[in-house]
Amino acid sequence: SDVIPGMVLPIDLYWEALQEPSDDYTVFIHVYDDAGNLVTQYDRPAGGEGQPTSSWQVGQVLRDTYPLMIPETM
């Protein structure tokens, strides 16, 4: 589908714990223009606030959705 300025683009990531995580990790989604300028970003703990990575079980697969706002100026 097309990405339209002003839209919220849902990005789905799927995670699988291959071993027991000992830390809580953060996901950074950054979009840069051709000149290398940051135009939008979405940073959040992987799994959201309700399922930090330190609580994941080995073999657990988790779908994680990140709503990335596409600026009107893109």
Q: Where are the domains of the chain?
A: 8-69
Give the C-alpha separation, 3 to 9, whole Å.
Answer: 7
Write down the pTM of the prediction.
Answer: 0.77
Chain segment 17-56, per-residue pLDDT in tens: 999 998 999 999 999 989 999 999 999 999 988 899 999 9
Question: Residue 19 phi/psi, 5° resolution?
Answer: -150, 165
Give the C-alpha separation, 71 to 5, whole Å.
Answer: 6
Mapped onto helix, strand or coil, the DSSP state of residue 56 is coil
Residue with more model confidence, 2 or 58: 58
CB 56 within 8 Å of CB 50? no
Predicted pLDDT at 58? 96
